[in-house]
């Protein structure tokens, strides 16, 4: 007999392995995004608390957490100032397209 816990564990295992979502942009072509894990967000928060990451460019750091390749591997490091500066220098409309797609996909998953 399947318990409520078994059902929930099964559902959680499925969401832990979600495939990245492809976003097609006019300027950058296809960009993949994925949900960061709780462990990744906590590690980034801990690094920021320890002074490893500046408090500036929060949107760029957030984009670095979700932009990935088709396998889900991050393409940018939210702790790497060069990566963050590159993302922060992008036109708002382009980065917003990526972050909006993430927000929409996150809302669909709830």
In a domain, 74, yes or no: yes
In a domain, 3, yes or no: no
- The answer, as to whether pTM is greater than 0.95, is no
Convert the chain into a string of H (helix), E (strand) and C (coil).
CCCHHHHHHHHHHHHCCCCCEEEEECCCEEEEECCCCHHHHHHHHHHHHCCCCCCCCHHHHHHHHHEECCCCCECCCCCCHHHHHHHHCCCHHHHHHHHHHHHHHHHHHC
User: pLDDT grade, residue 102 (50/70/90)?
Assistant: confident
In a domain, 39, yes or no: yes
Burial of 87 (0-12, 13-18, 19+ CB in 10 A): buried
Share of the chain above pLDDT 70, in %: 86
51-95: pLDDT as tens digits: 555 557 888 988 999 999 999 999 999 889 999 999 999 999 999
In a domain, 40, yes or no: yes
**CATH classification at residue 68:** 3.30.2220
In a domain, 34, yes or no: yes
**38: domain range?**
20-109
In a domain, 5, yes or no: no
In a domain, 9, yes or no: no
27-51: pLDDT as tens digits: 999 999 998 888 887 877 776 666 5
How many folded domains does the chain comprise?
1
Facing residues of 32 across strands? 22, 68
């Amino acid at each position: 007999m399947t318990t409520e816990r078994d059902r929930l564990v099964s559902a959680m295992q499925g969401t832990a392995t979600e495939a990245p979502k492809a976003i097609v942009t006019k300027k950058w072509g296809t960009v993949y995004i994925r949900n960061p894990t709780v462990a990744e967000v906590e590690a980034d928060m801990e690094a920021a608390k320890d002074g490893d990451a500046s408090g500036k460019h929060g949107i760029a750091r957030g984009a670095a957490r979700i932009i990935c390749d088709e396998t889900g591997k991050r393409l940018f490091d939210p702790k790497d100032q060069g990566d963050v500066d590159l993302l922060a220098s992008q036109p708002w409309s382009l980065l917003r397209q990526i972050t909006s797609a993430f927000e929409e996909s996150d809302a669909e998953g709830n």
